[in-house]
Chain A
Amino acid sequence: MQTIFSPHAKRLLLAAVLLVLPALAAAGTTEGLTVTPANIVMGAQYNGLDLKVSGTVPANSEVIVRLTGAPSTLHLREKGKVFGLVWMNVGKVTLNNVPKICLITASSPLDLLGKAAVPFRLEALAKEISIEKDGGDPSIDIPHQLLLLKTKEKLYGEAAQGITLGPNEGGVRSFTAVIKVPSAISPGAYQVEAIALHNETVTGHSTATITAELIGFPKWLSELAFQHSLLYGVMATVVAIFSGLVIGLVFQSKGAH
């Protein structure tokens, strides 16, 4: 087993974060961050939604809005070439501290926002992930591959679209961002952040927490499947047999004509 971040490197990373935090606090926060809807309700017809985030930032600022899910542990397989011919699973990879979702939208292309935007981008997120490898090719860039996998699933993304900035009035400007939340999210807490940037410095940072929860039939079914799993399995089998018999009998009656 191999861990990419040594304890020494982790201490350095923590020190760097502690140094940055006071600077952010001194920059002040954006005011009045409003998230609509306030919570994500996942009923039978839930198919993703547009999350509207609005607030104000210091005048002349650009804005980054980020939606992130709680960090979790991921167990993955690494693919590699065997005998120089076929692509197979060649190793196991365990990733810790991986947010389930990370959708980033900005008012200008992120590359133009300079160094101040870097800590809020996907590449920075990948650096905070700890990796344990069992087998596989040591030269593979696992964090980069994780970003590719999650981006393919539409759970990670960066885009310079979906933010409308208002005019500068009284030292502030309003913004409205729309984040497209995919249907493949899990129930739980999610963090919405709005970061204001001006002249390559962070001028404001505000957060809000929203929750995603199952309701109605999906909630009932999920509870049955996880809390009474044997009963759920038997029920699924019985309903399948019954449905097959009913359809079979319907066709039999038609066949009699």
Chain B
Amino acid sequence: MSLTMSLYLPIAGNSVNCLAIFGLGGVVGLLSGIFGVGGGFLMTPLLIMMGIPPTVAAASDSNQIVGASTSGTLAHFRHGNVDIKMGLLLLIGGIVGGTVGVQIIAILRQMGNADFLISITYVLMLGFVGGYMFLESLQAMRKSSRPEVAVASPKRESLYAKMIRIMPLQVDFHRSGIRLSLLMPFCLGILVGVLAAIMGVGGGFIMVPVMVYLLRMPMHVVVGTSLFQILFTCMNVTVMQAAQNHTVDFILALLLLLGSAIGAQFGTKIGKKLGGEHLKILLASLVLIVMFKMLYDLLAMPDVLLAYAGGH
């Protein structure tokens, strides 16, 4: 009896090599565990390259992120790195923003420029977020490597810090060790939700910089809280995509999540060992690589001038 590693996926309508899918899940899960991002912006293009239809790749990826982020959230929760109060506020904002974003996309599609705006938004967001994080982390690492000079100059409070302080509904977020207005995470959640809906991704790679730079949460709490928030977003997407579009391939997702859930566990341990600045610079590099790949796809002439409807 011969043992074959190929498996037929009835919803994707293609057969895949189990080991290749398992390995792909493992690598993306590792990154997810280290950085607290869902990995959708990496996994979906890689699945399309392996012959999975774009709509099935995106929906099945959301399904596997549910498993990977459950595993990752559990691991971070054990280490006390999940700020549930902050995560819930971001989630509520994200749902409101996602609903608004879907309406914006519907209007843009009617105007006929949606695809162009989606791609440009992608490149600009990735370039801005990745570039800023990369430069900021590089500066911080250079500073820490220099010998400490005893300068006790009083630090001036920035305009942004003043604005945060005077906003109403101030509460303590004990896990994050910060005091903020309830409106801050809610409004930022809306902003990320709008962008995520326009770009068709979970939003982890936008949410993490927002938590670090705008909510000023410590990096390790950011990762756990981001995974917690992504878990609920992707549960919603999976059920909606399965019910309305029939694009969730459960077998593909199961293979991916077995790989990615294991990868996420290793990722969480690696993330703990890496310093905050190292984490940020690695994530920034990853975001910039994806940005350059997208930019190349926009500028280089495609081999075929026809594509199936549904992909970006």
CB-based nearest B residue for A251: B265
1/0 per residue, CB under 8 A from A, across B269-312: the answer is 00000000000000000000000000001111111111111000
* B116 close to A (CB within 8 Å): yes
Distance between B202 CB and nearest chain A CB, rounded to angstroms: 14
* B119 close to A (CB within 8 Å): yes
Q: Do B74 and A243 touch (CB < 8 A)?
A: no
Which chain A residues (153-199) contact chain B, with CB distance < 8 Å?
153, 183-186
* A14 close to B (CB within 8 Å): no
* A37 close to B (CB within 8 Å): no
Which chain B residues (39-83) contact chain A, with CB distance < 8 Å?
51, 63-64, 66-72, 74-75, 78
* B14 close to A (CB within 8 Å): yes
Q: Do A183 and B242 touch (CB < 8 A)?
A: no
Distance between A155 CB and nearest chain B CB, rounded to angstroms: 11
Q: Which residues of B contact A186 (CB under 8 A)?
A: 13
CB-based nearest B residue for A76: B306
Give the A-B contact count at a CB cut-off of 8 A: 182
Q: Do A89 and B239 touch (CB < 8 A)?
A: no
Rounded to whole angstroms, the CA-CA distance of A86 and B116 in the bound complex is 9
Q: Do B302 and A244 touch (CB < 8 A)?
A: no
Q: How large is the interface on B (under 10, 10 to 19, 20 to 34, 35 or more residues)?
A: 35 or more
Q: Do B250 and A236 touch (CB < 8 A)?
A: yes
* B240 close to A (CB within 8 Å): yes
Q: Do A243 and B254 touch (CB < 8 A)?
A: yes
Rounded to whole angstroms, the CA-CA distance of A184 and B78 in the bound complex is 43
Rounded to whole angstroms, the CA-CA distance of A249 and B71 in the bound complex is 8
The stretch of B181-189, B215-223, B255-263 that contacts the partner chain = B255-263
With contacts A88-B298, A145-B304 taken as known, whether A47 is within 8 angstroms of B6 at the C-beta atoms is yes
Counting chain B CB atoms within 10 Å of each CB, the highest count among A85, A93, A140, A248 belongs to: A248
Which chain A residues (217-257) contact chain B, with CB distance < 8 Å?
218-219, 221-222, 225-226, 229-230, 232-237, 239-241, 243-245, 247-249, 251-252
* B140 close to A (CB within 8 Å): no
Q: Which residues of B contact A251 (CB under 8 A)?
A: 71, 75, 265
Q: Which residues of B contact A48 (CB under 8 A)?
A: 15
Rounded to whole angstroms, the CA-CA distance of A123 and B113 in the bound complex is 33
Taking a contact as CB atoms closer than 8 A, the residue among A47, A85, A86, A233 that contacts B243 in the complex is A233
Q: Which residues of B contact A218 (CB under 8 A)?
A: 8-10
1/0 per residue, CB under 8 A from B, across A119-150: the answer is 00000000000000001000010100110110
Distance between B108 CB and nearest chain A CB, rounded to angstroms: 13
Q: Which residues of B contact A152 (CB under 8 A)?
A: 303-304
Q: Do B238 and A236 touch (CB < 8 A)?
A: yes
* A42 close to B (CB within 8 Å): yes
With contacts A184-B14, A236-B242, A244-B71 taken as known, whether A225 is within 8 angstroms of B257 at the C-beta atoms is no
* A28 close to B (CB within 8 Å): no
Counting chain B CB atoms within 10 Å of each CB, the highest count among A75, A145, A237 belongs to: A237
CB-based nearest A residue for B250: A236
Rounded to whole angstroms, the CA-CA distance of A248 and B66 in the bound complex is 13
Q: Do B116 and A88 touch (CB < 8 A)?
A: yes
* B251 close to A (CB within 8 Å): yes
With contacts A45-B6, A152-B304, A221-B10 taken as known, whether A237 is within 8 angstroms of B63 at the C-beta atoms is yes
Q: Do B51 and A226 touch (CB < 8 A)?
A: no
Q: Do A229 and B116 touch (CB < 8 A)?
A: no
* B137 close to A (CB within 8 Å): no
Distance between A161 CB and nearest chain B CB, rounded to angstroms: 23
Distance between B137 CB and nearest chain A CB, rounded to angstroms: 29
Rounded to whole angstroms, the CA-CA distance of A153 and B14 in the bound complex is 11
Q: Do A240 and B115 touch (CB < 8 A)?
A: no
Q: Do A240 and B67 touch (CB < 8 A)?
A: yes
* A35 close to B (CB within 8 Å): no
* B4 close to A (CB within 8 Å): yes
Taking a contact as CB atoms closer than 8 A, the residue among A42, A78, A86, A241 that contacts B299 in the complex is A86
Rounded to whole angstroms, the CA-CA distance of A185 and B112 in the bound complex is 32
Q: Which residues of A contact B239 (CB under 8 A)?
A: 230, 233-234, 237
Q: Which residues of B contact A226 (CB under 8 A)?
A: 246
Which chain B residues (157-199) contact chain A, with CB distance < 8 Å?
none
* A55 close to B (CB within 8 Å): no
What are 30 residue pairs bridging A and B, where the CB atoms are less than 8 Å apart in the complex?
A42-B8, A46-B15, A47-B8, A76-B308, A79-B307, A86-B298, A86-B299, A87-B297, A87-B298, A87-B299, A88-B298, A146-B306, A148-B306, A152-B303, A219-B10, A222-B10, A229-B244, A230-B243, A233-B238, A233-B240, A233-B242, A233-B243, A233-B248, A237-B238, A240-B253, A243-B67, A244-B68, A248-B74, A248-B75, A251-B71
| A-B interface, 6 closest residue pairs, ranked by CB to CB distance from nearest | A233-B242, A244-B70, A183-B15, A248-B74, A240-B67, A47-B6
- With A185-B13, A240-B257 already in contact, 13 other A-B pairs whose C-beta atoms are closer than 8 Å: A86-B119, A87-B300, A88-B116, A142-B306, A225-B242, A229-B243, A230-B242, A235-B250, A236-B63, A236-B250, A245-B70, A247-B71, A251-B75
Residue ranges of A at the interface with B (Cβ–Cβ < 8 Å):
42-48, 75-82, 85-89, 92-93, 135, 140, 142, 145-146, 148-149, 152-153, 183-186, 214, 218-219, 221-222, 225-226, 229-230, 232-237, 239-241, 243-245, 247-249, 251-252
